[in-house]
A and B are shown apart, each in its own frame.
Chain A
Amino acid sequence: MQGVITVLGKDRVGIIAQVCGYLSGRGINILDISQTIVQGYFNMMMIVELGSLAGQNFEQCADELQTLGKSIGVEIKLQHEEIFNTMHRI
């Protein structure tokens, strides 16, 4: 099971470090990462392997990432890959 993490907000030092630190603490592997900065605005997308992180754990993880985002002034969203697959793949 894969998840998509998007990070949006004003650029500052250490955003990637903070997010990656959290993921590594959780044992979540990053499969793909892309990042752009347009006029000081930070935009990152990650595809991560969630392994057996299902149900309650997924929601807790999404919650914790949101909280982490608030503490560093960006918006972090973890979504189950299925919403993108369903919309764009037949």
Chain B
Amino acid sequence: MLSKMEIQETNRMIAEANLDVRTITMGISLLDCAAETLPRFCERCYDKITRSAARLVRVGDDIALQYGIPVVNKRISVTPIAQAAASLCADAAQYAEIARTLDRAAREVGVNFIGGFSALVQKGSTQSDLALVHSIPEALAQTERVCASVNVGSTRAGINMNAVARMGRIIKQTALLTRDSGSVGCAKLVVFCNAVEDNPFMAGAFHGAGERDLVINVGVSGPGVVKRALEQVRGADFETVCETVKRTAFKITRVGQLVAREAARRLEVPFGIIDLSLAPTPAVGDSIAEILQEMGLDTPGAPGSTAALAILNDNVKKGGIMASSYVGGLSGAFIPVSEDHGMIEAVQLGALTLEKLEAMTCVCSVGLDMIAIPGDTPAETISGIILDEMAIGMINNKTTAVRLIPVAGKNAGDTAKFGGLLGEAPIMEVNRFGCAEFMRRGGRIPAPIHGFRN
């Protein structure tokens, strides 16, 4: 029989350390919605999404009640729209119409985000890819729940430099079109290298071409639980630190596995993967920065930060992989600046710079995430920042992402407020030296030597 200690430990994690299931994301293939006309395509997409995910929110809430653990978000990812809608030969305005359809479907079923307004252009762009990318600013300005992503590089294909240059301009335009709300459109736009097909987390989720028709992917979280566990081993050596993180990650992931299986059973949709990322929220006690401080750093950004994050990331994976046979998605630690109060404070203190964040992304699961920069940052500079991050992903055979927000009308030192889960972000200083000539070269950076593993 269960012991009192075990029951207390679990419930303390939930009540006091913000343990939750961050998202149940239903992946929906839209490949079978291909049609000859735009209205017909939109209608088929709307019908399939609202039919497949009709019970998603209700089931998520019921599971939360059954196990007494919050299920924070219920979300949907769909086939990259540039692929699903390719047969339409649509222009950018027509792609924006598809985005509005996705938005309506998301609202109808009650999910807060729908991901997959995406294009995969690491090696080159089709007409459909180009039209979708050009529609992104308008699509994100006119919708509330749609998330867009563009994969511009991979270890196998290299980096599509025309796409990198284009994304700098697209991000600027998106910022401008959503300037009345802190350029929030850019918070729903991710540029990837080595994007994964089964990521349940937004804004980068999409349902890859290798996936089945419908699937349930679950993202668990719990930075607060890891921090609490580390409080118990203050001053202990690194073996103890690693062991503690590993054990905690195991327990967190087991809960995710339980919820994922139950959601799949109730929805009669196959279970896909557990993504065991530690994802912070703006709440105190739900922060990656606090974990780094608990490990012994004065503040994130201090020397040692990259190593601390590497240890955290590696042991989250080691613990999590034991707890579920199907671990996927991004799986590691996220370091979004605007969604972590400790990261925000570190930036305000001057301890954490864009360059240090870039170094930290070499060892964690994603990249430069939710970083607000001055609105007048040149498009070429934004592309340059993206390119550096893509190079890290390509060379190190890992996923990297960039979600930059050049907040219109704001300068370094100001604050941008996005509200809700997106939080607020201090505007970070960007290196003022340019790279315009470099970006103008265009073409494609060849795949690195270790991309050829056959």
Cβ A6 vs Cβ B254 within 8 A: no
A7 → chain B closest CB, angstroms: 12
Q: Determine if A34 and B4 form an interchain contact, defined as CB atoms under 8 angstroms apart.
A: yes
Q: Which residue of B lies closest to A83 (CB)?
A: B67
Chain A residues whose CB sits within 8 angstroms of the CB of B284 once the complex forms: none
Total A-B contacts with CB atoms under 8 angstroms apart: 55
Chain B contacts of A22 at CB under 8 A? none
**Chain B positions 377 through 411: 1 when the CB is less than 8 Å from some CB of chain A, otherwise 0:** 00000000000000000000000000000000000
Report whether A87 and B255 are in contact in the complex, using a CB–CB cutoff of 8 Å. yes
Within 8 A of A (CB), among B58-78: 62, 65-69
Of the residues B11, B62, B255, B257, contact of A6 by C-beta under 8 Å: B11
Within residues 46 to 90 of chain A, which ones have a CB less than 8 A from any CB in chain B?
Answer: 47, 58-59, 62-63, 77-88
Contacts of A86 in B (CB 8 A): 254-255, 257-258
**Residues of B in contact with A, size category:** 20 to 34
Interface of B is mostly: helix
- In the assembled complex, the Cα of A6 lies from the Cα of B9 at a distance in Å of 13
- Evaluate contact between A85 and B2: CB separation under 8 angstroms: yes
Q: Does B228 contact A (CB under 8 A)?
A: no
Check A62–B6 contact: CB distance below 8 A. Answer: no
Pick the most buried of A6, A82, A85, A87: most chain B CB atoms within 10 A of its CB. Answer: A87
Interface residue B10 (Cβ < 8 Å from any Cβ of A): yes
Q: A31-B1, A34-B4, A47-B1 are in contact. Are A83 and B10 (CB under 8 A)?
A: yes
Judged by a CB distance under 8 angstroms, whether B349 is at the interface is no
If A6-B11, A47-B2 touch, whether A83 touches B69 (CB-CB below 8 Å) is: yes
Scan residues 340-398 of chain B and give those whose CB is less than 8 A from a CB of chain A: none
CB distance from B273 to the nearest CB of A (A): 17
Q: Check: B251 CB closer than 8 A to any chain A CB.
A: yes
Contact B66 A62 (CB under 8 A): yes
> What residues of A have a CB within 8 angstroms of the CB of B62 in the complex?
59
> Contact: A84 with B65, CB < 8 Å?
no
CB distance from A13 to the nearest CB of B (A): 24
Interface membership of chain A positions 1-32, coded 1 if the CB is closer than 8 angstroms to chain B and 0 otherwise:
00010100000000000000000000000011
- The one of B1, B9, B66 in contact with A59, judged by C-beta atoms closer than 8 angstroms, is B66
Q: In the bound complex, what is the Cα–Cα distance between A81 and B11 (angstroms)?
A: 12
Question: What are the residues of chain A within 8 A of B254 when measuring CB–CB?
Answer: 86-87
Pick from B1, B4, B8, B67: contact of A80, CB below 8 A.
Answer: B67
C-alpha gap A58/B10 in the complex (Å): 20
Partner of B2 from A58, A59, A84 at Cβ < 8 Å: A84
Residues of the B chain whose Cβ atoms lie less than 8 Å from the Cβ of A62: 65-66
A59 touching B7, Cβ below 8 Å: no
Q: Which residues of A contact B1 (CB under 8 A)?
A: 31-32, 47
Q: Which 8 A-B pairs have the closest CB atoms?
A: A79-B68, A83-B67, A86-B258, A88-B6, A86-B254, A87-B251, A80-B66, A84-B2
A interface vs B, CB < 8 Å? Answer: 4, 6, 31-32, 34, 45, 47, 58-59, 62-63, 77-88
A-binding residues in B (CB < 8 A) = 1-2, 4, 6-11, 62, 65-69, 251, 254-255, 257-258
User: What are 6 residue pairs bridging A and B, where the CB atoms are less than 8 Å apart in the complex?
Assistant: A45-B8, A59-B66, A78-B68, A79-B66, A83-B258, A88-B10
Q: Apart from A34-B4, A80-B66, what are 6 other A-B pairs with CB-CB below 8 Å?
A: A45-B4, A45-B7, A47-B1, A62-B66, A82-B258, A88-B9
